Structures are given as structure tokens and as C-alpha cells.
Amino acid sequence: MFDAIRRWLNDVPIDDPVDRRNAAALQLLLLFLLISVPATWTYFLTQLGMPRGGALNVGLAALTTVVVGFCLAMIRAGHFRPAVMLYLGTLLATMWINYAKSGFQVMMVSQSDQFLALLLGGLVLGRRALWLIFLVLLAIVVTGCLTDYPARGGRAFENAPSTAMAYFIVAIMLDRAVAALREALHDSDTRRAALQREMAARERAQAQLVHAKKVEATGQLASGVSHDFNNVLSVILGYAQQRERLADRDKSALVDALAGVETEARRALEINRKLLDFSRQEILRPEVFDVRQALAELQPMLRQLFPAQVRVRIEAGDDGLHVRLDRASFILMMLNIAGNARDAMPGGGTFTIASRLHHGDDGAQVELTLHDTGSGIPDTVRARIFEPFYTTKPAGSGTGLGLSLVHDMIHSAHGTIDVDSTPGAGTRFRILLPHAGTGADADAAETAIDRPETAQAANR
């Protein structure tokens, strides 16, 4: 029940977050007045009857109740500050009428409405409204004293200075508190804006870094790709060199030759398209895909990345190893780790990528193991390999960002990465990614895991 009331109080179309929080408290106050004022007067009139000269007070109470209900409706409609000003104006007006009618000495017994006016004006409407209300209260006090003057003479003003001083002290305290709160709010807004700018700049820098690493990986593939293009061009050139002999034969031989040229040209275009698709800069889009299929498509690129004396093995594991990740980022992660493995095996060796379904405490996960038989990593280096800009490569041959980028990408996908290495015995990376399921399970996972941070590499 209390949660339902709280949701109802907060469900107001007010854009300003401070006003929206204040609206909940003010609605409670207005609801209390809307119930208590009519109930009090109803009880008083039924039990004691109409007091002498009480018609004016009853009329003012009825007017106040109507205004309170109207103010509550204004707040529910999103007009918070106009509702506060209307309520304060009505409160001060009725107070002025009562002081003018009954005098200061009678009315000074209860000061709750006066302090309520100061509090609402200062905390909700600001410093200018606070001091304006203070001046109005002084005028109301003077009005009440003038009403008492014919009967009390000079004694009519004897309590006015202390009352005015009490109003002044409350106003000063509220003024300082409001000033401090608004300064803190301004500083908070400034810091939030600066943080948003910094986050936007870091996101742009991260996207540029991903693109730079893609271009770097593409450059590392250049020698192998040139070998593929040489094979394609050699076939085309072979057909071209036979043009005269083919021309002397029947038309079908020439048609077959041109078909072979077309096939090889399409193969060259496909190689070029894959490189362009991988290296171009674009917004990262997580998708559900099968790791085994992605590794099968990646295998030719891996073979081009390593020299001939390195054996590349892809060990596919269980069926349906689906993950939700940006596909180009996944390829970039594999190529980054493979590039380090290539540098660790200058004399040759074996690089293996194995995949399987892993069931652990966190549920089903896709496990990827990348193992090389290279020189290994010393303990002092292994503790820092995921730090940005840390590299042991000579100047000009490494940025120190590859493994840091891999680490951030995996954690942005809610995965983990560990490394185990022994100098002289190779290095093994173990990656765990949440299993996205298949079919309907994959769709559900795509909905459940869809977060803005998985559409881009994590900020560091």
C-alpha cells in the first residue's frame, strides 16, 4: 500500500528533478489540509455551534479548502510552482485578514502558518520569494498591532520586535541553506556535464582505438592476402596467355576460359570485400552467432597471419556455441591474441583455438582456449599484460593496447579472460563468454542481455 501511495505521489509530469521530489512532500501536506481543515470545522460547529463572529473564519476555511484542492490538481497536472505560489498567496491573504480582524495579540499564539510560508517560499521558490514573504509577514504583524492599538495603546507593539526577529532568524537560516543547496546543485550539474563530455570523448577514443587495431590487424594480413591475390592473378594471366590458342579453337573453349577468369575475379573480389568489411569503421552491433562458424570463417585469415612454419589448428567442440557479441570485435580479439602468439613463435610451432560448452557456477558459458607453443610469458610481465600501453615489444612495433582492448571487450560482454603461461612452454588464454542459447533461447538472451555498454568496448 505504501509503495502504491509513493508511486502515485511521484507520478507527476514535472521535468525538474528537484521540483518532482518536492512535489511528493507538498502533495502530502495539501492532502492533510484537504482533510483536516473541513473535519476540524465540522467537529467544531456540530459540537460547539457557530462562535460569535465566526462566519468569516468559516468562510476563510472553506476558501482555503477549495484553493488547496485546486493546488493539488495543478500539481497533478504538472504545474508545480504556480500551485505553490497560489497556495502561499492564499495562506498570506487569509493570515492578513485574520490579523486585521482579531489583532496581533490573539493571532501570535500560533505561528505555524508563518513559518510554513517561509519554509515553502525559501526551499521551493528561492531566495527572492523568501525575502518577499518575510516582508509580507512584517506587514501582517504591523497590521495586527494597529488593530490592537485602540485598546492597548503602546503595548500593542511590545511583542512585535521579538516576533519580527524570529522571522528574520528563520529567513537568514533558510537563505543560507538555500544558497548552499543551490551552489551544491550547480556544482553537481557542472560535474555531471563534464563527466558526460568525458564519457563521450572516451567512447569516441575507444571507437577510434578499435578501428586502429582493425587496420593494424589488416596490415598484418597483407602479406598473406597478397599471396592469395598472386594466385588469382596467375590463373587470370594463364588464361590471357592462352588467348591466341583458344581463339583458334571453337567458341566453347573461349567461353570456358572466360568463365574461369570470372570465377577467379569473383574470388579476388570476395577477398577484398572481407578485408574492407573487417577494417572499416562502424558502430559495433552485438548479435547472436555460433562461435564454431565464426572460427571456421576466421581460419583462412589466421593462416595468412602466421608464417608457413607455424601450424594453425581449430578444434570445434560442442554444437550450438552461441554468444552475443559484435562479430567484428570477436574476430579482432582472436587476431590480437594470434598476433602475440605469432611473435612468440619466430622459429615455428603450433597455435590452437579450441571451443567447448562449459557449465560452471555462473551457468552455461562458451569456453575458448587459445594456446601457442612459443616462448611463454614471465610472471612479472604476465601480471601486467592487460594494462593499457604496457608492451615488451621494441619501439615502433607495438602499442600495448591489443590485450587491453581484448580484456575490455570480453568484460563488456560479461565474460572473463585468464592467462596461464610458463617461460619456454607456451601461453594459454582461457576466455569464458555467456552462452546465448539457440533459436528461441538466443532471442530471449538477446533481449535480456541487451545493454548499451555491450554495443561498445568498455571504457577504461
Residue 244: its pLDDT value, please? 63
CA distance 26 to 402: 56
**Which three cell numbers, joined as nine digits, stand for 360?**
560452471
Same-domain check for residues 240 and 292: no
Last residue of a domain, one of 246, 266, 282: 282
**Which three cell numbers, joined as nine digits, stand for 343?**
611473435
CA distance 57 to 123: 29
Bridge-based pairing of strands 349-360 and 310-315 is parallel
Last residue of a domain, one of 230, 255, 282: 282
Is residue 212 one of the residues assigned to a domain? Answer: no
Same-domain check for residues 308 and 333: yes
Same-domain check for residues 289 and 188: no
Residue 353: its pLDDT value, please? 93
Is residue 437 one of the residues assigned to a domain? Answer: yes
Same-domain check for residues 172 and 51: yes
Exposed, middle or buried by CB within 10 Å (0-12, 13-18, 19+), for 244? exposed
Number of domains, the chain: 3
Same-domain check for residues 336 and 448: yes
Is residue 263 one of the residues assigned to a domain? Answer: yes
Residue that is written with C-alpha cell 554495443 in the block: 455
Same-domain check for residues 63 and 164: yes
Is residue 206 one of the residues assigned to a domain? Answer: no
Going residue by residue through the chain, which has 460 residues, state the pLDDT in tens, using 9 for 90 and above: 778 888 888 888 888 877 888 888 888 888 888 888 888 878 777 876 766 666 777 888 888 889 989 999 999 998 989 999 999 999 999 999 988 988 888 888 788 888 889 988 888 888 889 999 999 999 999 999 999 998 888 888 888 899 999 999 999 998 888 788 777 877 887 888 888 888 888 777 766 666 666 666 655 555 555 545 655 565 566 666 666 666 666 667 666 667 666 765 765 665 566 555 555 545 567 889 999 988 888 887 777 678 888 899 998 777 778 999 888 778 778 887 888 888 889 888 999 999 998 888 878 899 999 999 998 888 888 888 877 666 666 554 554 556 777 888 888 888 999 999 888 889 999 999 999 875 444 444 444 434 433 333 333 3
**pTM, full prediction:** 0.45
Same-domain check for residues 413 and 381: yes
Is residue 21 one of the residues assigned to a domain? Answer: yes
- Could you tell me if 338 and 351 are in contact, meaning their C-beta atoms sit under 8 angstroms apart? yes
Name the residue range of residue 39's domain.
2-194
Crossing angle of helices 80-102 and 55-76, rounded to 10°: 170
Q: How many residues does this entry show for the chain? A: 460
Same-domain check for residues 306 and 377: yes
Q: Write out the E strands in 20-163.
A: none
Is residue 182 one of the residues assigned to a domain? Answer: yes
Is residue 209 one of the residues assigned to a domain? Answer: no
428 DSSP β-pair partners? 371, 420
Same-domain check for residues 230 and 373: no
Same-domain check for residues 399 and 293: yes
Same-domain check for residues 228 and 189: no
Last residue of a domain, one of 282, 297, 330: 282
Same-domain check for residues 278 and 288: no
Bridge-based pairing of strands 363-372 and 349-360 is antiparallel
CA distance 87 to 94: 11
- Could you tell me if 399 and 407 are in contact, meaning their C-beta atoms sit under 8 angstroms apart? no
Residue 458: its pLDDT value, please? 36
Distance linking the first and last C-alpha atoms of the chain = 43
| 111, containing H or E segment | none
Is residue 239 one of the residues assigned to a domain? Answer: yes
CB atoms within 10 A of CB 223: 11
290 DSSP β-pair partners? 322
